[in-house]
Amino acid sequence: MTTREPVVQDRPRLAHPPLRLRRQRDLIPSGGRRAAVFAASVILGGAIGALLLAIMRVSPVTAYQALLSGAFGSSYGILSTLLKTAPLLLAGLGVLVAFRAGIYNIGNQGQFLAGALFSTWIGLHVGNPSGVLGVPLMIVSGMLGGALWALVPGLLRALWGINEIITTLMFNYIAVYLVDYAVTGPMQDTSLGVPETSFLPSGAQYPGITISGTQLHLGFLLALVATALIAVLISRTPLGYEIRAVGANPRAALYGGVSLRLTIVGTLLLSGALSGLAGMGEIAGVHHQLLDGVDGGFEYTPIVVALLGALNPIGVALAAFGFAALSVGADNMQTVVGLPSSFISIIQALIVLFVLAGEYLSRLTLGRPPEEGPERVEAEP
């Protein structure tokens, strides 16, 4: 009995293959495209916010005028915006460093509070009234506190591969309750009758200039210096190369001689130190004492700032300034039109969502699949 050989036929190829969305290979859109995405996101977020205001029978024009006037309409508003920019920028730079290494440090709030706690203790016990040693000691102690708070998650990740998202997040809660214990227990100034420490001596406070009742302190200048240093570190130094290499491809970095463990721990230490410096700045430059809620409730805002800034130091600085302006303007908007200042959180969330969606769509191209030869199929005998 003979078997028939299968007949092989050529499936006809379409003259015009259907258009398909394809994802580009570049992981980070170009600068111009990213700027366009961000601008469009701000416009769309503002437009939807205006629609929500109209639904609530609030004039969008009046509300947004109050927002801009509060942030930029006076020297007080401008200085307040710059003051709020400093901690967001420093903590955002800390997030930037970690994320560029592929390390998802979610513990910026805990590291911020640790820096505030450590520096307050140093300021109250070692503060020099002359200011010669007081401020430098405060800076070192704040950075040391934030770095130590990131050390344990770094070691757990480097030595045993324990997910740093969970450990840094848990350390946030530890720091919150530790500060609460400190200001209601051993560090409380009982004469004040509230959960706060004593005021720092003048030698442990940031110097600054006072305009319209608002002081622009040294912390803002340090934030700008840190931005320049991180930009150079990431792009111009061997350590920056190792950070970028580990974040891009850990296996290739290891093959190239980069120590993954040292890079992971070192990156988290630097990230924590920057957030700790932000916390120290709020103590030395704004409150001059440790109190409950010293973080101002920004919690995970530095993460959003870093992502909106495309993990680029200049972008992070612009995003921090924008978020600070929205925060300051929201207080004035609440006074003028009676809206709760939390409404601005809706605008911020909308901007973030549009930016994320826009960046994803910007990596897609509309085109036809690459040309292929005729597909060979076996026909039934």
CATH among 1.10.287, 1.10.3470, 3.40.50, 2.40.160 for 75-329: 1.10.3470
Cα-to-chain-centroid distance, residue 256: 30
Domain map (residue ranges) of the chain: 75-329
**Chain-wide mean pLDDT for the chain?**
86
Which residues are 211's β-sheet partners?
214
Of 117 and 300, the one with more pLDDT: 117
Quote the CA–CA distance of 322 and 324 in Å, as a whole number.
Answer: 5
| For residue 30, pLDDT beyond 90 | no
**pLDDT per residue as tens digits for the range 190-213:** 888 899 999 999 888 998 877 767
Overall average pLDDT of the 111-122 stretch:
96
Residue 261: band (very low, low, confident or very high) from pLDDT cuts 50, 70, 90:
very high
- Asked if 122 and 141 count as a contact pair (C-beta separation under 8 A), the reply is yes
| For residue 251, pLDDT beyond 70 | yes
| For residue 372, pLDDT beyond 50 | no
Overall average pLDDT of the 153-159 stretch:
96
Overall average pLDDT of the 211-216 stretch:
75
Phi-psi region of 18 (alpha: psi -120 to 50; beta: other; left: phi over 0): beta
Of 254 and 14, the one with more pLDDT: 254
Confidence (pLDDT) at 29? 46
- Asked if 84 and 328 count as a contact pair (C-beta separation under 8 A), the reply is yes
Show the tokens assigned to 10. Answer: 């050529």
User: Residue 294: exposed, middle, or buried by beta-carbon count in 10 A (0-12, 13-18, 19+)?
Assistant: buried
| For residue 373, pLDDT beyond 80 | no
Residue among 108, 91, 135, 78 at smallest CA distance from 227: 91
Show the tokens assigned to 378. Answer: 């076996």
**pLDDT per residue as tens digits for the range 271-305:** 999 999 999 999 999 999 999 888 877 778 999 89
Quote the CA–CA distance of 261 and 355 in Å, as a whole number.
Answer: 33
**pLDDT per residue as tens digits for the range 160-191:** 999 999 999 999 999 999 999 999 999 999 88
Share of the chain above pLDDT 90, in %: 60
Confidence (pLDDT) at 17? 54
Residue 19 in 3-state DSSP?
A: coil
**pLDDT per residue as tens digits for the range 300-326:** 899 989 988 889 999 999 999 999 999
Residue 315 in 3-state DSSP?
A: helix
Confidence (pLDDT) at 297? 72
Confidence (pLDDT) at 70? 92
